[in-house]
Amino acid sequence: MICITGLGETKGFTALITDVVPNLHLVAGSQCFPLYLYEYSSKLDKQLNTGTHPQGDLFIDELPGTQDIFAQTDIQPDYTQKDAITDTGLTHFQATYPNETISKEDLFYYIYGLLHSEDYKARYADNLSKELPRIPCVKTATDFRAFSQAGRDLAKLHIDYEKQLMHPVKLDCGSKAFASLNPADFYITKMKFASKTDKSTVTYNHAITIKNIPLEAYEYVVNGKPALEWVMERQGVSTHKDSGIVNDANDWALETMKNPRYPLELFQRVITVSLETMKIVKALPVLDI
């Protein structure tokens, strides 16, 4: 689904795609638009509605006609997949490009590509801060295809960000060789820029300094901040002031990813995502509607 900045937010317009159910604040005040909708239906529903299946009871499981609601059942829910893009919406674009075969998926990715257009975001900046995006038809089918393909390419980058190649930065480990580092050497508390005026170097931790970070990578901005700086902020250790709950990225790296290098590798992968995103964005056609 495509998630966009909510109305009235002040961090600038962002569009970000995901293939999982997102947090409400994936981007500021997220409003999300899926490719597909799923209508829930099951044999269990039908049996409950017709009275042919015993009704579960939360507290009593001995009464006739009831059963434990926590008990396992062999009746699994069914979901009917439906297109979220309406036939009317698709017809509007098909009529604009009568010699083209356009699917709802083509249109979905066209929208994602269009929402990354610097021309589009600059021209409609005021509108985007107050209302949902309007999706125009570009003048030519060639441009439609270019935006649609760009949207597909961006979606693959953004959904599979953890699978992208790690950008080959220089990892300065002082007197140690990188290959000789042990898991404790990858423990991270907070990444910091080595200098306020130079973002090409980041102090990862006591043992590692990341150098030769391409400055162009900071051009990819998500929710008002470069994607790389989101990684720097979130991959570390922080304590919530009110609750005292500790959020430790090292726990996720070790327990879930089974990889103490995960935060470092994520940083390198997001460099790749950022550079490739901006390459696609800068190659988009001029917005001609």
pLDDT for res 60? 47
Higher pLDDT, 66 or 27: 27
pLDDT for res 47? 56
Higher pLDDT, 127 or 68: 127
| Residue 55 banded pLDDT, cuts 50, 70, 90 | low
| pLDDT greater than 50 at residue 63 | no
Q: What's the whole-number mean pLDDT along residues 174-183?
A: 95
Report pLDDT digits (tens) over 14-35: 999 999 988 888 888 889 999 9
Q: What's the whole-number mean pLDDT along residues 238-259?
A: 95
Strand-pair partners of 230: none
pLDDT for res 40? 77
Secondary structure of the chain as H, E, C letters: CEEECCCCCCCCCCEEECCCCCCCCCCCCCEEECCEEEEEEEHHHHHHHHCCCCEEECCCCCCCCEEECCCCCCCCEEEEEEECCCHHHHHHHHHHCCCCCCCHHHHHHHHHHHCCCHHHHHHCHHHHCCCCCCCCCCCCHHHHHHHHHHHHHHHHHHHCHHHCCCCCCEEECCCCCHHHCCHHHHCCCCCEEEECCEEEEEECCCCCEEECCCHHHHHCEECCEEHHHHHHHHCCEEECCCCCCEEEHHHHHHHHCCCCCHHHHHHHHHHHHHHHHHHHHHCCCCCCC
Over its C-alpha atoms, the chain yields an Rg (Å, rounded) of: 24
Higher pLDDT, 221 or 46: 221
| pLDDT greater than 90 at residue 65 | no
Are the beta carbons of 69 and 50 closer than 8 angstroms?
Answer: no
CA nearest to 110, candidates 152, 72, 77, 81: 152
C-alpha neighbours within 13 Å on the C-beta side of residue 71:
15
CA nearest to 173, candidates 204, 139, 212: 204
pLDDT for res 244? 93
Q: Phi, psi (5° rounding) for residue 266?
A: -60, -45
CA distance 27 to 222: 8
Angle at 263 between CA 261 and CA 265, to 5 degrees: 65
pLDDT for res 10? 78
pLDDT for res 143? 98
How much is the pTM?
A: 0.86
pLDDT for res 198? 94
* DSSP strand pairing (198-203 vs 192-195): antiparallel
Are the beta carbons of 44 and 75 closer than 8 angstroms?
Answer: yes
* Domain spans, the chain: 2-38+82-159, 170-264
* Region of poorest pLDDT, from 15-29, 82-96, 222-236, 269-283: 15-29
Strand-pair partners of 237: 248
